Copies of this chain bind each other. A is one copy, B any other.
């Protein structure tokens, strides 16, 4: 998909076995509205001349605040009944980055990642230490009740006390849903940025860190190439270094964003056994939303164009 508008934003709400039969019309409408809301909040920043970095943070905050998605408020339960969240953000102009892994009680993990980007010498902070840093920055904490939802609790109860984990929705069926949210944007100054956030996998234990908070894996941004946010089988995405694989292929082979995303998601990720997708934007405003699973919650807006949303393959 090619476009040379002055600014662009793309968001995703996770990929996986998302089929029409799994969604009621009402629920589908809710998902689409949440995606539109996220694009709108980011787009407003961009149309006012704001930075891609601010736009992707705001869009992801919007998705984190929505209980439908597995990130922020809607995060799934870990094995101990807590909510351990991961997030990352990267600026394509400066290559500054911030990431947080396995943090609890933070209302908006992506904003904590942004605070790390802006105010820490480090890129990646984890666990209680990350929470201490958040408190030192006076960030908003929330109680367990804020993160509670009956749907997530029931999902957890089905596997709690066992060694099983579950990816996200639909643990009854043999379906996979990679609950992650993300945004990529190009601003009017030609800078790109990417942000990614997740609540991980239901009933996870052992302090598992997935791909979302890893720079180069679940998230990457560089004006020279593109900004990418991934969603998928975290372990396979780590082994494929997926976000940077897309950027590196563009840089080293001088190919288009579209070619790089198609090749990585439909060939290279599949070759190592991974399922999922990625959204991406380059410095010319070209966008890509590729996935090798049945569906991916996604939406975008280029300049003053219409907001387009998609869930299923077509």
Contact = CB atoms under 8 A, between A and B. Distances in A.
B244 A252 contact: no
A97 interface: yes
A120 to B, nearest CB: 7
A216 interface: yes
A129 B165 contact: no
A124 B200 CA distance: 13
B238 A216 contact: yes
A72 B216 CA distance: 27
A49 interface: no
Task: Determine how many copies of this chain the complex contains.
Answer: 2
Interface in A65-122: 90, 95-97, 101-102, 120-122
Interface in A176-223: 205-210, 214-217, 220
Nearest to A254: B252
Contact of A206 (B96, B129, B239, B245): B129
A249 interface: yes
Contacts of A234: 122-123
Contact of A126 (B90, B96, B126, B240): B126
A31 to B, nearest CB: 28
A267 interface: no
A133 interface: yes
By CB atoms of chain B within 10 A, which of A125, A216, A244, A249 has the most? A216
Contacts of A95: 239-240, 272
B249 A121 contact: no
A261 interface: no
A235 B95 CA distance: 11
Interface string A240-280: 11001100110011000000000000000000100000000
A35 interface: no
A126 B99 CA distance: 14
A238 B97 contact: yes
Given A126-B208, A129-B207, A252-B252, 11 more contacts: A95-B272, A122-B235, A124-B208, A127-B207, A128-B207, A129-B205, A132-B206, A244-B248, A245-B248, A248-B249, A252-B253
Interface of A: 90, 95-97, 101-102, 120-130, 132-133, 165, 205-210, 214-217, 220, 234-235, 238-241, 244-245, 248-249, 252-253, 272
Going nearest first, the 4 A-B pairs with the smallest beta carbon separation are A129-B207, A252-B252, A216-B241, A248-B248
10 contacts: A123-B235, A124-B210, A125-B206, A125-B207, A126-B126, A126-B208, A126-B209, A130-B207, A133-B206, A241-B241
